Amino acid sequence: MAAADVAPGLVWFRDDLRVSDHPALHAAATSGAPLVLLYVLDDSGIAARRLGAASRWWLHLSLQALGASLEKRGARLVLRTGRAEEVVPAVLRETGARHLYLNRRYAVGERRQDEEVGAAAEGARVAVHLFTGSLLHEPGEVHTGEGEPFAVFTPFFRALTRQGEPRSPYPAPSQLHGADMPVRSERLDDLGLLPVSPDWAGGLRETWTAGEKGAHRRLEEFVHDRLPRYAEERDLPAAEASSRLSPHLKFGELSPYQVWHRVRRSEASGAVKEKFLTELGWREFDYDLLATHAHLDTENVHRGFDRFPWADPADARIRAWQRGRTGIPLVDAGMRQLWHTGWMHNRVRMVTASFLIKNLRLDWRIGEQWFWDTLVDADPANNAAQWQWVAGSGADAAPFFRIVNPVTQATKFDPTGEYIRRWVPELRGRSGKALHEPWTSGEDLLGQADGGGKPYPPPIVDLKHSRAEALEAFERMRR
C-alpha cells in the first residue's frame, strides 16, 4: 500500500503539551502513519472543571508554543472546542483515522470521558493506545501489603521508590509526518483564553515563560542555581529557592520523568536530591488520593468534617483575604503575590490557607476555588489535597488543632521582612515587630505605594481569640 493510502493516526493532546517524553506522540510517530494532532478545549463535557482564569492565560501560551514546535517538525495542531466525548469521535470519522493515541488522565470525569471516547473509537474499529505520561506510576499500583491504598505519605513514597528508578524519558521526534488532508481547526485567538477587558495578566507575563522551551530553561536554572540550596532555603519565601516547575508539570510541558532524571544527574548532594524528589512524591500521592476520592475538591475525605460549624460564607472578610487586605502582613504578602504572579510560595500557601480556615473559620472549599481560579499551577489533585491537608479533613493531614500563627511564621521564615516589604509596599519603611505586627505600633499606616494610597488596614480578626474559637468549633464537631 502506498504511503498516501495509509490511514492516519490521531494524537489527542490534553495536559501533556510537549513533544519530548510524550509516550503517545512517540508511539504515533514511530508507527509510520500520517498524523492528525488534536487539542480540544472542553468547558462543558463530562470531564470539565472549567479552568481558572490564570490557567486559561497559561494554556493560550502553551498551545501557541506547542503549535510552533509541531510545525517545525512537519505537522500542525488542530484546535477544536466542545464536549471532547463528542468532538474526538467526530474527528476520527472526519479523518478516517484508525488509531487513537493518548496519555492517561486521572480525575473521575476525565476517566469517564476517556472510557466513552475509547468505547466510541473501538465501536468504529479504531485501535486505542493509552500511555502513562503524567505520573511516575498508575494510581493503585502502589499499595499496602494488604492491597489497600496508602493513607499516609511516608510509607507510600517508600513503596513507590522501592519499585526502582522511573523509566528514561523518550526523545522528541525530529520529524513528524503530518496528515495531508484539510482538517478544520479553530484559531487560537478565537478560543477566548486571554483576558481582554481588563488585561490583568501583566504580572503573569513578567513572571513566566509558558511552553516546553520555557519549562526546560526553568528546570536547568533550578538545577544549577537553586537545587544546591533547596534543602536549606526552600521554606524562606524571599530566598527564591523553589523550583517553580509546578505550572510546567500541570500543563505537561515537562514530564515528571524528565524532572526526576535531571535532578538525579545533578551535582547536588544525595540528601538534597531526595528532599526535592519527595515533593514529586507528594504529587504522586495526591493523585492516588484523587483516584480513591473522586470529589476531592468538594467532599471531605474524613466525613466527620461534614459537621464542622463554618462561619457565614457571605462573610465580607473573604474579599479582604482574596485581595491581601487582612491586616496580617505575611498573609497579605502571599495573597498579593498570588494576584500578581499567579503563584505563591508553598509555605505561604499553608499560612494563607490556615488563616482562612482557622482564624476566619471559612470553609476550605472557598479557598480551594479561589486558588483554582488564580493559580497558574492549579491542579485537580494537588490543589484540593493540599487545602484538605491544611483543614485537617484530608489524608495524612495536619491535625485541625495545628493552627499556624502567621506572625510566628513571618518572624521565623521572613525574619528581615524582605518578602513582606516586596509585596506589601505600605510597610516598606518598617522592620522587626513594627513590620510583622504593625497594629502594635500605634501609628497611622498611610499607604505609600499600594496603588491607591489606602492606609494599611488593621487586622480583620484577633489571632489569639480566633484560634480559641476555632478550637472550640472543632470540639463541637467532635462531640
| Per-residue pLDDT, 257 | 98
Angle made by CA atoms 391, 377, 185, in degrees to the nearest 5: 135
Q: What is the pLDDT of residue 452?
A: 55
Give yes or no: 439 in active site: no
Nearest to 365 by CA among 298, 306, 313: 298
- What's the confidence (pLDDT) of residue 399? 87
3-state SS, 406-443, equals HHHHHHHHCCCCHHHHHHCHHHCCCCHHHHHCHHHCCC
Active site residue 346: yes
CB 178 within 8 A of CB 95: no
In the numeric block, the cell 468549633 is attached to 473
How far apart CA 312 and CA 325 sit, in angstroms, is: 19
SS3 at position 41? strand
Query: 372 an active-site residue?
Result: no
Catalytic-role residue among 370, 387, 389, 423: 387
User: Going by C-beta distance under 8 Å and a sequence separation of 6 or more, which residues neighbour residue 185?
Assistant: 76, 77, 78, 79, 80
What are the tens digits of pLDDT across the range 260-269? 999 999 999 9
Instruction: Name the catalytic one among 282, 321, 370, 423.
Output: 282
Quote the pLDDT of residue 445: 55
pLDDT at 239: 96
Given the residues 279, 299, 437, 469, the one annotated as active site: 279
Active site residue 310: yes
Among candidate residues 200, 207, 198, the one with its CA nearest the CA of residue 422: 207
Strands (E), 14-69: 35-41
- pLDDT value, residue 443: 65
Going along the chain from its start, the domains and CATH numbers come out as 3-134 (3.40.50.620), 135-168+212-292 (1.25.40.80), 303-478 (1.10.579.10)
Q: Which pTM value belongs to this model?
A: 0.95
Instruction: Give yes or no: 12 in active site.
Output: no
Residue stretches of the chain with pLDDT short of 50: 1-4, 446-451
The predicted structure's pLDDT at residue 446: 46
- Which residue of the set 364, 372, 389, 423 is catalytic? 364
- Among 310, 339, 439, 469, the active-site one is 310
389 is catalytic: no
pLDDT of residue 5: 65
